[in-house]
Amino acid sequence: MPKNQEEKNIISLLIQYQGAKINCDLDQFLACLHEKGDFHFGIGFMLSKKELKESLPSFWAGLKSGSREFYPMNREMITGNYILTGRFFNPQIVINQESAEVIMTFMKWGWRLRHYISMIKENDQWLITRLDWETN
């Protein structure tokens, strides 16, 4: 349960982010992101929002194909980016005026991985500035 309106707004953004990720909805996904952010992509690359816009459609197509050749060689390199289902839970939110740090747990079939999300509030709207994953 959100402690205040700011947490409620952040959780709303996290729900939008999760839905966009799971549904491979590029427009909704990008709407969650700040123009000057850094976002984890694939096997440990950090990309800008513009680079994600170019790279995500083919990445998501690879995920949907189910081809084993698409996935990393070992499980240590697989992050939540490679999984279209599953869920986020237990968000730990720390707000510091116009910025926030969130640690969520991502779970699929009992497999768990922490997801680190940084946010900034601009023009009364929260946007994600950094997406990163715990190393597996």
CATH number for the domain that contains residue 37 = 3.10.450.50
% of the chain with per-residue pLDDT over 90: 58
- The 10s digit of each residue's pLDDT in 75-111 is 666 777 777 777 788 899 999 999 999 999 988 777 7
Six-digit token string for 121: 């509030």
Is a pLDDT exceeding 70 seen at residue 74?
Answer: no
Residue (of 90, 94, 88, 80) closest to 135 by Cα position: 80
- The 10s digit of each residue's pLDDT in 117-133 is 999 999 999 999 999 98
101 — phi, psi (to 5°)?
-120, 135
- H-state helical runs in 1-136: 5-23, 26-31, 49-65
- Tell me what the mean pLDDT of segment 15-22 comes to: 92
Is a pLDDT exceeding 80 seen at residue 25?
Answer: yes
Give, in degrees to the nearest 5, the angle at Cα 55 between 111 and 81. Answer: 5
Could you give the strand order of the β-sheet that contains 111-122, starting from the edge strand earlier in sequence? 45-47, 33-41, 125-133, 111-122, 99-108, 87-96
CA distance 136 to 130: 19
- Looking at residue 112, what is its pLDDT? 86
- Looking at residue 85, what is its pLDDT? 78
Q: How many domains does the chain have?
A: 1
The DSSP bridge pattern shows strands 45-47 and 111-122 to be unpaired
Contact of 30 with 53, CB cutoff 8 Å: yes
Range(s) of the domain holding residue 120? 5-133
